């Protein structure tokens, strides 16, 4: 199954940075006028764990706030000046939306895909509305679900910086899609974490643990 991830010019920088860190080459398909990064996957499920809107809310406790604050503080300090962070920060949701609109205007077709867990889904990006939680809130929720549900160690998460997109394939339930990528070129970490957080109620949509495509 070939799944379109993004049509984002600046995301190329992030993909290349990930490849350099992990020693894996990114597969690419397209042409010089309309290049679309893709991921080749044979999974029938979109997420390792999936929840419908409102089903999975992370409990906001003092302990969890202290733990997540420590992670975010270390990541923000340690990732300063790193290529992955610079690329992720440059690829704003506004830029993504602009490039997505250009892609549609150029006649690109995005095929719907069928997954066992979420059903039929057609990738699309948009802009957050007034009901949406912030990127920082989504990042905090993503860290919490990886800690508590996926069993990822706190120290492990301090090596990952998020790239954000705002997906609107289901217009009634848009979500923040976070790709947490290793930012330290000296790290042996090769895994990438994906987390989706429903934008309107802050509940968890799903998470997936995988490695950069090679």
pLDDT in tens, 9-45: 334 333 433 433 333 333 333 433 333 333 444 558 9
Cα-based torsion angle of the residue sequence 148, 150, 151, 155 in order, rounded to the nearest 10 degrees:
-90
Task: Compute the Cα dihedral for 177, 183, 4, 119 and give only its sign.
Answer: negative
- Residue 140 in tokens: 């905090």
Tell me the torsion sign for CA atoms 204, 22, 163, 77: positive
Dihedrals phi, psi of 132, to nearest 5 degrees: -80, 145
Return the H-helix or E-strand segment holding 16.
helix 11-22
pLDDT of residue 53: 98
Q: Which residue bears the tokens 């990127």?
A: 135
What pLDDT does residue 43 have? 57
> Hey, what's the torsion of the CAs at 179, 185, 187, 189, to 10 degrees?
30
Q: Name beta bridge partners: 163.
A: 179
Q: Which residues contact 104 (CB under 8 A, 6 or more apart)?
A: none
Average pLDDT, the chain: 83
The confidence score (pLDDT) of residue 210 equals 84
SS3 state of residue 165: strand
Domain range for residue 55?
2-210
Q: Rounded CA gap, 196 and 84, in Å?
A: 20
Report the alpha-carbon distance of residue 142 to residue 11 in Å, rounded.
Answer: 20
Model confidence pLDDT, tens digit, residues 166-184? 999 999 999 999 999 999 8
pLDDT, tens digit, for every residue of 63-93? 999 999 999 999 999 999 999 999 999 999 9
Highest mean pLDDT among 2-16, 115-129, 187-201: 115-129
Give the residue-averaged pLDDT of 188-204.
Answer: 93
Number of H helices, E strands in the chain: 6, 10
Rounded-to-integer distance, Cα 92 and Cα 113, Å: 25
pLDDT tens per residue across span 139-154: 999 999 999 999 999 9
- How many domains does the chain divide into? 1
pLDDT grade for 209, boundaries at 50, 70 and 90: very high
């Amino acid at each position: 199954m070939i799944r379109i991830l993004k049509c984002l010019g600046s995301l190329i920088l992030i993909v290349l940075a990930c490849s350099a860190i992990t020693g894996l080459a990114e597969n690419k398909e397209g042409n010089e006028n309309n290049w679309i990064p893709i991921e080749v996957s044979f999974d029938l499920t979109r997420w390792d764990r999936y929840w419908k809107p409102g089903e999975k809310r992370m409990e906001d406790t003092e302990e969890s706030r202290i733990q997540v604050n420590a992670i975010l503080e270390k990541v923000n300090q340690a990732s300063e000046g790193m290529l992955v962070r610079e690329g992720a920060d440059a690829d704003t949701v506004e830029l993504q939306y602009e490039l997505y609109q250009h892609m549609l205007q150029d006649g690109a077709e995005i095929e719907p895909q069928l997954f066992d867990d979420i059903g039929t889904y057609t990738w699309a990006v948009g802009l957050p509305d007034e009901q949406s939680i912030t990127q920082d809130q989504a990042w905090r929720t993503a860290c919490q679900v990886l800690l508590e549900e996926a069993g990822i160690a706190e120290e492990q998460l301090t090596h990952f910086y998020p790239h954000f997109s705002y997906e609107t394939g289901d217009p009634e339930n848009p979500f923040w899609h976070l790709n947490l990528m290793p930012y330290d070129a000296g790290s042996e970490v090769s895994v990438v974490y994906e987390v989706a957080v429903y934008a309107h109620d802050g509940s968890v949509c799903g998470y997936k643990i995988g490695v950069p495509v090679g």
